[in-house]
Structure 1
Amino acid sequence: MSWQTKLERISDVLLRIPPLFIMDSILRMSFLSSYFPYQREFTYYLLWLLLMTFFFLSSLVMFSLSLRQLLQVYNYALATILLYTSFGMNHRYIFTVVNREEEFSDMTETTYLSQGYFKHIFIQICLSYLFIALWIFRLPARRDSNTVTRSSVKSALYFSFMLPVTFSRVFYQDLYIFQWMPQISLIIPLSLLVKDFLAALMTSIFIIKHSYDLCKWTLHEHGIQVFLENQWLRLRIPKVLRLFWLSRFSYQLITLTLYSYLNMQKKNGHIDYFSQEVWLFTGKQLLIQSCETVIALLGLTSIVSFISHYVGLVMAHMVGSETEEDRNMGTVSAILFFILALQTGLTGLEPEKRLVRLNRNFCLLSTAILHFVHSMVNPLLLSLSASRNLSWQRHLRVLGMCVFLFVFPLWLLYYLWSWNSISTWLLAVTAFSTEVMIKVLISVLVYALFMLDAHRETFWEGLDDYVYYIQSTGNTIEFFFGIFLFCNGAWIMMFESGGTIRAIMMCIHAYFNIWLQAKEGWKVFMRRRTAVNKINLLEEASPEKLREVNDVCAICYQELNTARITNCKHYFHGVCLRKWLYVQDNCPLCHEVIYQPENDKQSADLDEMNQNRIPGLLAHVNNDL
C-alpha cells in the first residue's frame, strides 16, 4: 500500500470526526438552560431550536460526504476563518491607530514603525499566503485556471490583505476612509470566495441528484442490506466512532483531572496526585459522560465491539477454534450493548442512575458473551469426542474453557448477591448465568458419554437414549428460563420502566426463544416417538439369525449384537435405524419403504386397482364408440 493511499484513508477518518463533535455538542445542550438566552419567549426558543436542528442536520450531511467533498468543505471553512482573522487583525490595528491619532501627528517614522507595524505586516502576509494556497487547491475544479488569470488574482489578493497597512500612513488622518479600510480589504477575497462557493453549490446540486439516483438504483437492485453495508464500509464508521470516542474521552480525562486537582488544592491547600478520592471521582465522571448522548453511546459501542472482538479471538485461540462464525463476538457484543442501552434509556437517565445502569448493562453483556463462548466450545467438545482425537492437549484446552464458563458466572453471582439486594435486574443476571452453567454441564455430560463409548469394545445401544434424555432436559430447563425472563421483562415494562424498544425485544424473545424453541422441541419429540413406534413394530432378530447372517450394520459398520429386520429383510441396529428414520422412511440399502401404516397400505392397494381398471375402462369406451 502506497503512502498516498494510507494518507487518504487516515484523512477520510480524521475529517469525519469534527461533525461528530458538533452533533455531540448539540445533543448535550439543554435548550432550557443557560445555553438558551431567551427562556421566556417561545418564538426565540423555536428559532433557537430550528437553528440547532439545522446545524445538526448539516453536520450529519457533512459526515456522509465523500473525501473530496469533505476537503472542499474544510477548504471553504478555513478560508472563511482566515478572512475573519485578517479582518479582526486589521480592525484592531486601525482601532489602535485611531485612538492614538493625536500622538501620530508628532511621531517620527521610527516611532511609528515601533507600534507593531512590521508584526502586523508579517501576520497579514502569512494569512494571504494561506488564503491563496486554499484558493489554488480549489483551482483544478475551475475553468479559468490559466497562468495569467492566476497571477492577477494572486496579486489582487496580496493587495487586499495588505491594504489597511499599506495605506495607513496615507489615510490615517481621514478617519472616515481610514476606519472603513478593513471592510474594503475584504471585497476581493470575499467576492472570490462567494463566487467559488456558488459554483460549488451548483455542482453540489448535480452531485446530490446523481447520488439520489444511485441510492435509488442500489436499493431497487440489491436491497437495503447491501446499501447499508456499502455505506458502512465507505464511511469507515467503526474506526471513526472509535477515534471520536477516544478523543472525547481524552479531553474529558484531562479536564476532569485538572478540575479534581484544583478542588483538592482549594480544599486541602495542596495537591495529592495519587489520592484515591481524585481517581474515584474522575473515574465515575468519565463513565457517566462516556454515554451521555446517542453519538457518545455509539462511540462507546464501537469500543466495546473492538475489545470484545479481541476477547473472542483470544478465546477462539485458546480452544483451537478456526470457524469464522466464532470470530464475530465483536459484532454480536456491539449489537447487544447498544440494544441494552436503548432498552434501558441509558442516555436519558440522571448521572448517578446512568452509572448504575451502565454497570448493570456490562454485567448482562458479560453473561451474553459467556453464552457466545459456550456456543463456540460445544461443537468442539462434540467433534473431539466423536472423532476420537487422542490429543489430550486439545481436550484439556476445551475442558479448561468449560471450567472457566462454570466458575466465572458462579463467582459473578456470589459477588452480585453479596453487594446487591434482590431486584428484577439481579434475577435476570442470575437466570442468564445459571443457564450458562447448566449448558456447560450438559455439554460436558454428553462429551463424557461419547468418550466412554469411544473406549468401549462393544456397541452401546443405549447411548442415543442417554444423550437424548440429557439434551432434552437441558433444552427444557432453557425453555423454562426463557419463560421466566419473559415474565421478568413484562414485570419491568409494566411496573418499572416501559418503552417501545423493550416491548419489541420482548416480542422477539417470545417468538425466537419461547415459541420457536417449543415448536422445534415438540417436533423432535414427535419425530422420535414416531421413529420408536416404527422400530417397535419391526421384527427383532434372534441370536440364531444374527449368527446365520454374520454381518455388520450397514449404517454404523459395527457388529450386529442386536438387530431389527425390515420388511425388505435387511438387518440394522435398532438405534441406527431409528436415527435413519429421523431423516427418511426408506431402507438405506434398497430404498424400499421400511414401515407403512395400514391406511397408507390400503390407499396404495386402491391406487393399484384403479391403475389396473383404467385400461379396461378405456377399452370398453372404445368398443361403445
Structure 2
Amino acid sequence: MALKDRVEAVLNVGLRVPSIMLLDVLYRWDVGSFFQKVQRSSLSNNPLFQYKYLALYLHYVGYILSLVLLTLPRQHLVQLYLYVLTALLLFAGHQISRDYVRSELESAFEGPLYLEPLSMNRFTTALICQLVVCTLCSCVMQTKQIWLFSAHLLPLVARLCLVPLETIVFVNRFAMIFTGLEVLYFLASNLLVPYNLAKTAYRELVQVVEVYGLLALGMSLWNQLVLPVLFMCFWLVLFALQIYTYFSTRDKPTSRERLLFLFLTSIAECCSTPYSLLGLVFTVSFVALGVLTLCKFYLQGYRAFMNDNTMHRGMTEGITLLILAVQTGLIELQVIHRAFLLSIILFIVVASILQSMLEIADPIVLALGASRDKSLWKHFRAVSLCLFLLVFPAYMAYMICQFFHMDFWLLIIISSSILTSLQVLGTLLIYVLFMVEEWRKEPVENMDDVIYYVNGTYRLLEFLVALCVVAYGMSETLFGEWTVMGSTIIFIHSYYNVWLRAQLGWQSFLLRRDAVNKIKSMPTATYLQLKRHNDICAICYQDMTCAVITPCSHFFHAGCLKKWLYVQETCPLCHSQLKSQSQPGATAALPLDIPQPPPPPLQLANQNQAGAEPAEPGVCETLRNGPDAGAELNPPQGESAAPSAPSPDPGSEGARSEGWESWQRHAPPRSEQQGDTGSGQPPCAPLPAGPGPPIACSSQQ
C-alpha cells in the first residue's frame, strides 16, 4: 500500500471517530436531569432554557448530525473539517484581538508604542499571532485573498495610528461583526449543499439496492466506513482518557493488585453505552486476531500468511463477548458489578482464544510429526507451543478456583480449560507416536488403531467433563436459583457438548466396526494373484505384498481400505457399494484371468481315498490341474472311451513339485484362501486362466 493510500485510510478512520464520540455523549446525556439542574441555577432566567422541547429536538438533531458525519464521503468530510478548522482559527483571532484590547485598556497608555516597552511587546505578540492566523486561514481555504481573514488586524492598525482606546473598542466590535457577516455569507451561499449531497446519496443508494440488493449495500458501507477499526479506535481513545484521568488525580504509586483492579474498572467504565460496548467487542476481536496471527507466525513463519484460514479471524471471541454482555445486561449494572462480570466474560474469551490456538497448532504439529522434517527449530516451536497450551489453561483454571466462588459460569470456564489441556495432551501423544515410528526401521503395526485409541480416550474424557458440567448445572437449577439464562445455557451445552459428542462417537465406533467386518469378509490375495495383478495399491500408491480383494475384484492393502471405509462405503476405484459378505469366510468371485495355484497332489489323493468321486470322471481334476495332470492322478477304471494320456516325464514332475513348494512358502494359510463348504470336503480351487466359459466344479459323496 502506498503512503498516500495509508494516509487516506488513517484519515478515513480518524475523522469519523468524533462522530462516534458525539453519539456516545448524546446517549449519556439525560435531558430531564439537565433541565432540573438548569432550573436550580442562575440560567433559569435565560430565554434559551425556557423551551424544554426545543432542547429535546436539538438532542435528536445532534443524533442526525452525528450520523451524517459518520456516513459522509471522505472528500466531503475532509472539506468539512477544514471549514471547522477555519472557523476555530477565526475564533482564535477574535480572542487574541479581544485580549489585546483589554490589556491596552488596563494599561491606559495612549502614547506611541515605542515609548512604552510593555505596550510594544503586547503589540508585537498580537501582530505575529494575527498574521499566523490569517496565513493559516488562507492556506486551509486554499485562497490568496488573505484580506478576507484580516479583520482582526484592524484594532492593531488603529492602535498603531494612535486612535483613542475607547475608539479601539468599537473598531474591535466592527471587526467581529465583519467576520461574522463573512461566515454568514459563506453559510448562505452553501445552504443547498447538504440537500444536494443527500439527494445524490439517496439516488446512489436506490441504484445500488435495485442492482445489487440490500446485502451488497450493507457490505459496501461496512468496507467504506471500516466500522470495526473505527469502533476500536473510539474505544481505545475512551480507555486512554479513563487511564489518564485516574493517574492525573492520584499522587501515590499503585500496587500490582491495584493495577489489575484499575484495568478492570477502566474497562467497565468504557462499556456503559451500546457504542462503547461495540467498541470493546471489536477491540477484543482485533486482540484475538493479533494473538492468533502471532501463533501462526511462530509456528510457520511467513508461510502462514500464504494460506490464511478465514475461520481464525477473532470474530468468534468478539461475538461471544457481545452475546454474554447482552444476555447478562452488562450495560445496566453498576461499575463494581460490571467489572466483576467482565472478569468472568474475559476469562471465557481467553479460553476461546486458547481453543482457537489449539485448532491452529494441532494439524501443524501432527503434520510435522508425520513428515521427515529434521529441523529441530520447527519441532521446538511446535512442542513449546503445545506445552504452553497444556500448562496455561490448567493454571488459569487453578487461579479461577482460588479467587472466585464456584458457580455454573465458572465451571464452564474451568471445563473449557481442562478440555483444552486434554486435547493438547492427546495431540502430543500422537506426535510422540509419529516420531517413534519415524525412528524405527520398520513401521509400527496397527499404528492407526493406537491413534484411534488415543483419540477415543481423550474424547471420552471430554464427554465425561461435559457430562459433569451438565449434571452440576441441572443440580444448581433444581435446588438453587432458577434463571432462564442458566437453563438456556444448560440446554445448549447439553445438546452441543453432550448429545452431539455422544452421537458422533457412537457413529465413529459403528463405522469402525463395520469397516473391520468388511475387511474380514474379503478374501486375501495369494502370491500368484498379486504377481499376476502386478500393480500398486490405488490408495497409498505403494507395492502390495499382501492385499484383500473387493467384491468388484480390485486389490488394496487391508489397512488402506479400512481407512477408506471409515469415511465412505464405496470402492475407491469403481465407487460400487461395498457390503459385508453373508458368509465371512466365503471367497468372492474373482476374474478368470487371474490363475490360482493348483492344490497339492497329496490333497487330491486323500480326497479320492475318502470316497469323494466326481460327478463327471476327470472333470474337476482336469479343471484344477489341466488335462495332463488329470490323466496322471486319476486313471479311468476299466475301459475308457478317452485315450490314455502319455506319462509325464520325471523332469516335468520335478518342476511341478518345485513350483508347488515355492508357492506353498509364499501363500497365506489355506483357511484364508478358502472357506469351509459345510460338507466336510475342501472346496474346489478357483479356475485357471484359459479360453472357454467357466465350468462349475461339483462333488458327490
Residue 439 of structure 1 corresponds to 423
Higher alpha-carbon deviation: 15-24 or 522-531 = 522-531
Structure 1 contact 163–181 (Cα < 8 Å) conserved: no
In 2, Cα distance between equivalents of 1:488 and 1:36: 51
C-alpha displacement at 1:210, in angstroms? 3.6
User: Which protein has the larger Cα radius of gyration, Structure 1 or Structure 2?
Assistant: 2
Q: Identify if the C-alpha distance between structure 1 residues 362 and 298 changes in structure 2 by more than 3 Å, giving closer, same or farther.
A: same
C-alpha displacement at 1:518, in angstroms? 5.4
- Matched residue of 2:37: which SS? coil
Residue 414 of structure 1 corresponds to 398
The aligned length equals 564
Q: Identify if the C-alpha distance between structure 1 residues 165 and 327 changes in structure 2 by more than 3 Å, giving closer, same or farther.
A: farther
Residue 182 of structure 2 corresponds to 189
Deviations 1:94-150 (A, max 9, x none): 9999x99xx99x97787999697887777666655555555x44x7xxxxxxxxxx8
Residue 360 of structure 1 corresponds to 344
In 1, Cα distance between equivalents of 2:375 and 2:241: 51
Q: 2:293 aligns with which of 309, 313, 334?
A: 313
Q: 2:353 aligns with which of 358, 369, 392?
A: 369
Residue 62 of structure 2 corresponds to 55
C-alpha displacement at 1:18, in angstroms? 1.9
In 2, Cα distance between equivalents of 1:68 and 1:487: 60
C-alpha displacement at 1:414, in angstroms? 1.9
Residue 71 of structure 2 corresponds to 64
Residue 17 of structure 1 corresponds to 17
Q: Identify if the C-alpha distance between structure 1 residues 193 and 465 changes in structure 2 by more than 3 Å, giving closer, same or farther.
A: same
In 2, Cα distance between equivalents of 1:244 and 1:362: 20
Paired residues for 1:212-223 under 5 Å: 212-213=205-206, 215-217=208-210, 219-220=212-213
Structure 1 contact 128–161 (Cα < 8 Å) conserved: no
- Matched residue of 2:294: which SS? helix
Residue 286 of structure 1 corresponds to 266
Q: 1:75 aligns with which of 72, 82, 85?
A: 82
User: Which amino acid is the alignment partner of residue 206 of structure 2?
Assistant: D
Deviations 1:152-203 (A, max 9, x none): xx6566458849986996996899x999847743553133222243142233
Q: Identify if the C-alpha distance between structure 1 residues 338 and 568 changes in structure 2 by more than 3 Å, giving closer, same or farther.
A: closer
Structure 1 contact 313–327 (Cα < 8 Å) conserved: no
Deviations 1:589-625 (A, max 9, x none): 6666544888xxxxxxxxxxxxxxxxxxxxxxxxxxx
C-alpha displacement at 1:346, in angstroms? 3.2
- Matched residue of 1:539: which SS? coil
In 2, Cα distance between equivalents of 1:277 and 1:132: 54
Any gaps of 5 or more consecutive residues in structure 2? 45-49, 583-701
Residue 201 of structure 1 corresponds to 194
Structure 2 contact 361–386 (Cα < 8 Å) conserved: yes
Structure 1 contact 385–447 (Cα < 8 Å) conserved: yes
Structure 1 contact 435–478 (Cα < 8 Å) conserved: yes
Q: Identify if the C-alpha distance between structure 1 residues 476 and 349 changes in structure 2 by more than 3 Å, giving closer, same or farther.
A: same
C-alpha displacement at 1:492, in angstroms? 8.5
Structure 2 contact 35–52 (Cα < 8 Å) conserved: no
- Matched residue of 1:260: which SS? coil
Deviations 1:369-423 (A, max 9, x none): 2211211222123323333444454334322322222111222222221222211
- Matched residue of 1:347: which SS? coil
Deviations 1:478-515 (A, max 9, x none): 4555566677789789957766xx99988876776566
In 2, Cα distance between equivalents of 1:523 and 1:533: 15
In 2, Cα distance between equivalents of 1:414 and 1:508: 26
In 1, Cα distance between equivalents of 2:132 and 2:535: 97
Residue 239 of structure 2 corresponds to 249
Identity, in percent, stands at: 28
C-alpha displacement at 1:282, in angstroms? 5.1
For normalisation by structure 1, the TM-score amounts to: 0.71
- C-alpha RMSD of the superposition: 5.0
Q: Identify if the C-alpha distance between structure 1 residues 450 and 126 changes in structure 2 by more than 3 Å, giving closer, same or farther.
A: closer
Q: Identify if the C-alpha distance between structure 1 residues 165 and 188 changes in structure 2 by more than 3 Å, giving closer, same or farther.
A: farther
Q: Identify if the C-alpha distance between structure 1 residues 165 and 338 changes in structure 2 by more than 3 Å, giving closer, same or farther.
A: farther
The structure with the greater share of residues assigned to helix is 1
Q: Identify if the C-alpha distance between structure 1 residues 183 and 238 changes in structure 2 by more than 3 Å, giving closer, same or farther.
A: same
User: Which amino acid is the alignment partner of residue 68 of structure 1?
Assistant: Q
In 1, Cα distance between equivalents of 2:383 and 2:39: 64
